[in-house]
Chains A and B, each alone.
Chain A
Amino acid sequence: ELKVEQNPLFLSMQEGKNYTIYCNYSTTSDRLYWYRQDPGKSLESLFVLLSNGAVKQEGRLMASLDTKARLSTLHITAAVHDLSATYFCAVEESNFGNEKLTFGTGTRLTIIP
């Protein structure tokens, strides 16, 4: 059974600081996704990582994937209040796409002014 773990579960940080959220998973997979969820809302896709060594950046967020270590990171640079949300990673068990996702526990990020 595929297990996906995120840490930390909760993160409170000041504006302007940098931090990293970690996502570990238990089986081989080359497909990992990062999502953002605001309270009461559905998921917003942030990044799709499809190969070992993949790195993607969008604004203050950067995601990477190390399939050998079974680890993905989401790095936040110079955080701003608008980034406050819950962040989920999700792993797809197959490498073909359009398969079910197993989600991590989520990281609730609060940016303090």
Chain B
Amino acid sequence: GAVVSQHPSRVICKSGTSVKIECRSLDFQATTMFWYRQFPKKSLMLMATSNEGSKATYEQGVEKDKFLINHASLTLSTLTVTSAHPEDSSFYICSAGDPGTSSYEQYFGPGTRLTVT
């Protein structure tokens, strides 16, 4: 199947700083990518839909000024957590659909574990 990578896999930052997470589709082009967050022992919650060349679509309750999304190319979307606080500590996972497959299945990145101290 298609491969989606994330970087970094793990990051620790101090309160008040900003952290950027990258999501790349390695062997296909993705006009749309999705960002999810997962708290310990909980399910995945969609944060936003990242659209190449246009603004991201945020889910209700997600602060767009805090979670900045940039989809600058067909293989890269970035999520920047601005002025991070301990409550932003979570597992962030991106996904992308491969238009080259008949099912348009989504593939998930390996995730980024963010810890804010």
Contact check, B104 vs A97: say whether CB atoms are below 8 A apart: yes
Query: Chain B: interface secondary structure?
Result: strand
Q: Is A103 an interface residue (CB 8 A)?
A: yes
Choose from A35, A40, A96, A102 the contact partner of B104 (Cβ within 8 Å). Answer: A96
A25 CB contacts on chain B under 8 angstroms? none
Interface residues of B in 90-117 (CB under 8 A from A): 93, 95, 97, 99, 103-111, 113
Contact check, A41 vs B110: say whether CB atoms are below 8 A apart: yes
CB distance from A97 to the nearest CB of B (A): 3
Category for how many chain A residues contact B: 20 to 34
Contact check, B107 vs A103: say whether CB atoms are below 8 A apart: no
A35 to B95, CA, bound (A): 13
For B93, the closest partner residue in chain A by CB is: A42
Count chain A CB atoms within 10 A of each CB in B46, B93, B104 and give the residue with the most: B104
B113 CB contacts on chain A under 8 angstroms? 40
CB distance from A22 to the nearest CB of B (A): 15
A103 to B107, CA, bound (A): 14
Task: Enumerate chain A interface residues (CB-CB to B < 8 A).
Answer: 33, 35, 40-43, 45, 48, 50, 88, 90, 96-98, 100-106, 108
Sorted nearest first, the 10 A-B pairs with minimum C-beta distance are A97-B104, A98-B97, A42-B111, A43-B108, A103-B44, A103-B43, A98-B104, A42-B110, A106-B43, A42-B108
27 of the cross-chain contacts (CB-CB < 8 Å) are A41-B110, A41-B111, A42-B108, A42-B109, A42-B111, A43-B44, A43-B93, A45-B105, A45-B107, A48-B105, A50-B103, A97-B104, A97-B105, A98-B32, A98-B97, A98-B99, A100-B46, A100-B49, A101-B34, A101-B46, A102-B46, A103-B44, A103-B45, A104-B43, A106-B42, A106-B43, A108-B41
